[in-house]
Amino acid sequence: MSDTDADLDLPPPERQLGQRLTAERPVPAAGFRGTLGRRLAALDPGHGPRPARLRLLSAAYLIGGATLIGLGAAQATGLL
């Protein structure tokens, strides 16, 4: 277990317990992991990576939607 800032605040018994749990962590067998990896690769829909400007596009849609909701609310209350 690495000595991160969170580990430094632990008393020795708890730090030892954390090290033991990390060392004895159950890991699936290699055959299972290989089969699972091949199955996930076969089921991959192939969408590929996210668009380069995903945050910009999301922000634009959010601002546009909020504007339309605001205009609708203004019209419903008689401000427009």
Query: Per-10-residue mean pLDDT for the chain, 80 residues long?
Result: 63 90 89 95 87 94 98 94
Identify which of 11, 17, 26, 28 has the alpha carbon closest to the alpha carbon of residue 1.
Answer: 17
At residue 10, the pLDDT reads 85
Residue with tokens 């990896």: 37
CB 71 within 8 A of CB 80: yes
At residue 22, the pLDDT reads 87
Q: How far is C-alpha 39 from the geometric centre of its chain's CA atoms?
A: 22
CB 15 within 8 A of CB 7: yes
